[in-house]
Amino acid sequence: MKIGYVRVSTEEQNTSRQEALMEQLGVDELFIDRMSGKSRDRPELQRMLTFVRKGDVVIVESISRFARNTKDLLELIETLAAQEVTFVSQKEAIDTRTPTGKFMLTIFGAVAELEREYILQRQKEGIEIAKTRGKYTGRKPIQHPEFDRVVQQWRRGDITATAAMRRLGMAKSTFYRKVRQSTF
């Protein structure tokens, strides 16, 4: 059975291109994650790993859609190999049924990890430059629309701090920090 795995980093990103490729390749079952590839705790990836059976082929558009670092990539491939499942990456033309495919998988995995590290390094450098120019102030604070009303209820003693935090969906430290910063 051909199993397709598709991943994009955020909910807003579009999976159409990857899905079209999977349809073109005739996959029988498709698993789609919409979250960062940094973690292996992706729900659809985990579902796919329990779904696959001996003789299946897992197909991805590219290695970067499957894993973000060499260690995770090799561990995932090892997990598949233990189940006697083949891995194919279309973009890099890697097929783990061949010795060359296994070797190239390791090389491309290392290159993908290096590329990711370079991206993070450039991002960090860009943020530092923007900060020195006064153009980067960090993430904009999110203000809950009910914050002032709920804090007033808490200060009057109408509700407990725990109830206020629950209503606002805030952690204890965030709640008290925002209370200290509030102007009323």
Residues of the chain under the 50 pLDDT cut: none
Both structure tokens of 181:
């910063």
Query: What CA–CA distance (Å, rounded) separates 85 from 54?
Result: 6
CB-based contacts of 133: which residues, under 8 Å, 6+ apart?
A: none
- Spell out the residues 6+ positions from residue 184 whose beta carbon is closer than 8 angstroms to its own: 148, 151, 152
* pTM across the whole model: 0.60
9, 39, 89, 182: the catalytic one is 9
Phi-psi bin for 77: left (phi > 0), alpha (psi -120 to 50), beta?
alpha
Spatial CB neighbours of 22, under 8 Å, sequence gap ≥ 6: 4, 6, 30, 59, 61
Catalytic residue list contains 64: no
- Pairwise CA distance, residues 142 & 128, whole Å: 23
pLDDT attached to residue 88: 94
